[in-house]
Chain A
Amino acid sequence: MVMGKEEKSGTRQIEGLERVFRNNAELAKMLVGYIGKFYNRLKNDFGTFKIMDFCGTHEWTITHYGLRSLMPEGLELVAGPGCPVCVTPSHYIQSALKLGFEGVVVYTYGDVFRLPSLKRVNGAGSLAEAKALGADVRIVTGIADAIADARSHGKDAVFLGIGFETVASGYAQALIRGLLPDNLKLMSLVKLTPPAMLATVEILAKERSAVKGIIAPGHVSTITGAKAWKPVADRLGIPVVVTGFEPIDVLIAIAEALKQLVRNEAKVSIEYTRAVSWEGDLKAQEMIAEAFRVVEDAWRGIGFLPESGLRISESYSSCDAFREYGIPEIAPEYCQEDLPKGCKCAEIVIGKEKPTNCPLFMKKCRPSSPVGPCMVSLEGTCAIWARFGADGLADRIAEDLDLR
């Protein structure tokens, strides 16, 4: 068989996009030049400062393409709380473990599967271990898989709904359309990003090197619209750039943030115009508002943040795993001690510390045997740094080999 015209032109489009936004050393060089020039005009006033990303995929792009090695000295790129797995309190994982051992089928995403819980339940310290011990835990790529599978077996089942706004619209659609079979309940642990962004930047404002610009998540913004970040730019007085995920996207965003700083501006601008609008997906926003209620939610390592989580609304409570299984919400006192001893995930998740400054990093805590949550998900800062040798190692080797 040969490919149809449509597929061919689809492939060509992707290749075209890659040429512009990925395999484009020339444009990259030009942008790095701008970034250096803008930074030189800022360094007298600002000294060392940070640009923060808020999405694991951005952190991935930054490390995967070695963008830190292209930044002027004094301009730090740091990762904020952009990994939903990292900020889900252990309490809820323990609740899922308990359900698993009670005979409930637990559906989970691949990275949640390996997330270590602080306390063991029936000898299991993660869903992966629970599965090895006989609990029925199944990895799925989304709620649709869980729905189809739960329908086929009819056993009591729960879907562990961890994620940001991006997954919420899919869950909302499933709830509103009544797609969940009676035996499948949703445990909504969805988190909202803007409140975390505000909290993080405010915490870091007291640090030596403050956050002066934000690379805002592109995927989340397709749903929320760029307007969601306006309160952040207004309240904090720093530029917020909604950004795509190719290396050129990120370089443009950094240049844009610096340009605004030079001009004394603090706006929300959209770099990722090929996917994001100011208003966002109004239909999805409407569905999320109907299916969920906004709650004060606990962020692992950060604490309770107002209006930062989603639980299923009263109208769809028959699908709510919290109600069905009487799962208690986390008590504030547990939130204080939610990380293993020595683990610096609390500081790493808000960009206050680098993974390489954690005493456990790549010693006791490794991708093969994660201790802290940030080492688990591919979007976790520690896991990304572990995979791509961040913190200048690549630079130092390149320097030593005279490759620059």
Chain B
Amino acid sequence: MRFVRLSHGSGGEETNELLSELLFSRVPEAMKRVPGGLGIDLPDDGAVIPAKDGFFVVSTDSYTVNPPFFPGGNIGMLAATGSINDVVVMGAKPIAGLDSVIVEEGFPIEDLETILGSLVDVFKKEGVALVGGDFKVMPKGGIDRIVITTTVLGIAERPIVDLPKEGDRLVVTDFVGDHGAVIMMLQMGLGNAEELKCGMLKSDAKPLTPLLPVIEAHSGQINAARDITRGGLGGVLNDWARNSETVLVVEGNLPIREPVRRYSEMLGIDPIYLASEGAALFSVKAEAAQDFVEDLRKHGFENARIIGEVRKSEKYRGYVLMKTVVGGFRVVEPPRGELVPRIC
């Protein structure tokens, strides 16, 4: 007998394999999208549905973060932010959202108030109407504290459908891995680390709506955009390389904060696979890339930079190649398995 393992939910290869087997393979090709749109036929941040003057973009996500409160935020703001960001990186302006909350019996009302308060704050601040939702309670032990699902709808004139092209430059908007590092440290009992206590390291969860004017100004130059969440930068790069049948070449010195690097190393985890919740990766035409970066910096993404390029090879497709800091080469594999600490 086979069992569902935690790694099946990590958003990496195992998730793909399981969902392909149990779900995607059962949906008829024609039913994987609406005519003229995009759906589960192409793995992207959200689905695209043609509308009268443009497109609807819709995205949904469930949030189960342990612990629900963490330096830099909580599960409520994360749930609102996450789905908004999925819509933004499709090049769409988010307009409406729904939320579905399941809470465990015995959960403190005060905590629930804080969580829902910050969820609403994010929607309010971003001008996204909260137009519906659901609320359920499960008996004690039936669920781990709280699960929130959010769905966000946006509108786009020209949605960004991820397909990096040969010659494109890869642009990252910020440091990567902060959110994943914080959560990992809390789970591994490193919550008292000085960097967390003094605020030097916190979750980077934030809405990416300030990207919208930059995306609009460079419309037609962007061949792919994705927010870097589960699976981290390594996950996005591998998805893109596989889908576009290219080789993505990245530099070894990636924008990863020093404490993120250090704690990852200590716990035996490659920070390239750690989630961010407020950073995105773009694939931009080479001639526009430098301008794009400068524009990002002007719009508050001071750490934006080019980290690599898209190449084509006859022989090799779907690989992410890194040129290491000492001049060697290695392949960046897709994320696999639960993130587990090592010993010795």
- Is B one of A's binding partners? yes
Name A residues whose Cβ lies closer than 8 Å to a Cβ of B.
1-4, 7, 11, 14-15, 22-25, 28-29, 32, 55-57, 63-70, 83-85, 109-114, 123, 128-129, 132-133, 139, 141, 145, 162-164, 166-167, 219, 247-248, 251, 366-368, 377-379, 386-390, 393-398, 400-401, 403
**Chain A residues with Cβ under 8 A from B110's Cβ?**
none
- B341/A141 in contact, CB under 8 A: yes
Which of B12, B258, B325, B340 meets A65, CB within 8 Å?
A: B325
- B342/A110 in contact, CB under 8 A: yes
- B325/A111 in contact, CB under 8 A: no
Given A11-B259, A14-B262, 8 other A-B residues pairs in contact with their CB atoms under 8 A: A1-B199, A3-B194, A32-B327, A64-B270, A66-B326, A66-B327, A377-B343, A397-B319
- B329/A403 in contact, CB under 8 A: yes
- A247/B324 in contact, CB under 8 A: yes
Q: How far is the CA of A112 from the CA of B198 in the complex (A)?
A: 34
Q: Verify if B138 is at the interface (C-beta below 8 Å from A).
A: no
**Chain A residues with Cβ under 8 A from B148's Cβ?**
none
Q: How far is the CA of A228 from the CA of B325 in the complex (A)?
A: 33
**Chain B residues with Cβ under 8 A from A67's Cβ?**
326, 328
- Which 7 pairs show the lowest CB-CB distances between chains A and B? A66-B328, A389-B331, A110-B340, A28-B326, A394-B329, A109-B343, A66-B330
- A23/B268 in contact, CB under 8 A: no
Consensus secondary structure, chain B interface = loop
26 A-B Cβ contacts within 8 A?
Answer: A3-B200, A4-B198, A7-B198, A15-B258, A28-B327, A32-B327, A64-B270, A64-B324, A65-B324, A65-B325, A65-B330, A66-B330, A67-B326, A69-B329, A70-B327, A129-B3, A132-B4, A132-B5, A145-B189, A164-B344, A166-B344, A219-B344, A247-B324, A377-B342, A379-B343, A394-B331
**Chain A residues with Cβ under 8 A from B268's Cβ?**
378-379
**Chain B residues with Cβ under 8 A from A164's Cβ?**
344
Q: Verify if B247 is at the interface (C-beta below 8 Å from A).
A: yes
Q: How far is the CA of A367 from the CA of B5 in the complex (A)?
A: 13
Which of A251, A367, A388 meets B330, CB within 8 Å?
A: A388
Interface-facing stretch out of B60-68, B169-177, B308-316: B308-316
For chain B, the count of residues having a C-beta within 8 Å of the partner chain is: 53
Which of B247, B267, B313, B331 meets A388, CB within 8 Å?
A: B331
**Chain B residues with Cβ under 8 A from A141's Cβ?**
188-189, 267, 341
**Chain B residues with Cβ under 8 A from A368's Cβ?**
7, 12-14, 17, 336-337
Measured between C-beta atoms, what is the minimum distance from A169 to chain B in Å? 13
Number of A-B contacts (CB under 8 A): 173
- B337/A367 in contact, CB under 8 A: yes
Q: Verify if B321 is at the interface (C-beta below 8 Å from A).
A: yes
**Chain B residues with Cβ under 8 A from A394's Cβ?**
321-322, 328-331
**Chain B residues with Cβ under 8 A from A24's Cβ?**
325-326
**Chain B residues with Cβ under 8 A from A366's Cβ?**
336
**Nearest-neighbor residue (CB-CB) of B311 within chain A:** A401
Which of B267, B270, B333 meets A389, CB within 8 Å?
A: B333
**Nearest-neighbor residue (CB-CB) of B6 within chain A:** A128
**Nearest-neighbor residue (CB-CB) of B273 within chain A:** A387
- A398/B321 in contact, CB under 8 A: yes
Given A23-B325, A66-B329, A67-B326 in contact, is the A132-B341 Cβ separation under 8 Å? Answer: no
Mark B6-20 against chain A: 1 for CB-CB distance below 8 A, else 0: 010000111001000
**Chain A residues with Cβ under 8 A from B341's Cβ?**
109-111, 139, 141
**Chain B residues with Cβ under 8 A from A32's Cβ?**
327
